[in-house]
Amino acid sequence: MVTVTININGENRTASVPAETTLLRALRDNFNLPGSKLGCDVGDCGACTVIVDGKPINSCLMLAAQAEGRTVLTIEGLASSNGVHPLQRAFEDCASLQCGFCGPGVIMSAKALIDEVPDPSIPQIRDALGGNLCRCTGYVKMIEAIRIAARAMRGETAEVNR
C-alpha cells in the first residue's frame, strides 16, 4: 500500500491504495468521483481524461502514486456554486452528446485546450480531441460547442446555431 495526497478539484485528498492502482481507479473507488469513465483501460478512448497540472491525461495510464502532490481537475470540479461550466452548458445547448459516455473526457480535453488556447481554431479543436473516441456522434456538434464555450469564456456573446 502507498499513501497518496492529491489536490483534487481544489481540495487535498489522501488515500491508501495498492501501488498498482491507477489514478482512474483511485478517483472512482477511493475519492468517490465517478465522472471519469473506464472505457478501454489502455489509453485509446479518452473516456478517463482528467487534467493534471494543466495538461489532459488518460487517468487509466497514470498510477495514483504518480499523482502524489499534483493538482488534478475532474469533470466534477468544473461546475461551481454559480452553476455549470460554460463547456458543460454549451455541450447541453448544442446537443453535442448522445449516450454521454465519452462526454467527461471530451469536455476535459476541451477545457485543457481552451485554457492553453483561448480562441482555438477548428483544426486545433480536432487535434485536442484526437485522443477522445465517440461512437455516437460525428464530432460536429462537439466542435460547435467548444467554439461557443471558448467565446463565452472570453466574455463574448455565444449563440447556438439551430
For the chain, the domain total comes to: 2
What is the extent of the structural domain holding 43? 2-77
Side-chain-facing half-sphere of 74: CA atoms under 13 Å: 21
pLDDT of 1 > 60? The answer is: yes
pLDDT tens digits along 37-51: 999 999 999 999 999
Asked if residue 139 is part of any domain, the answer here is: yes
pLDDT of 67 > 60? The answer is: yes
Q: Where are the alpha helices (DSSP H) in the chain?
A: 23-25, 86-93, 103-116, 122-128, 140-153
Give the separation between CA 86 and CA 63, rounded to whole angstroms: 30
What cell numbers appear for 68 in the block? 502524489
| The domain boundary residue, chosen from 27, 48, 77 | 77
- The reported pLDDT for the residue numbered 162 is 56
- Name the pTM for this structure: 0.95
Cβ–Cβ < 8 Å for 117, 154: no
Asked if residue 92 is part of any domain, the answer here is: yes
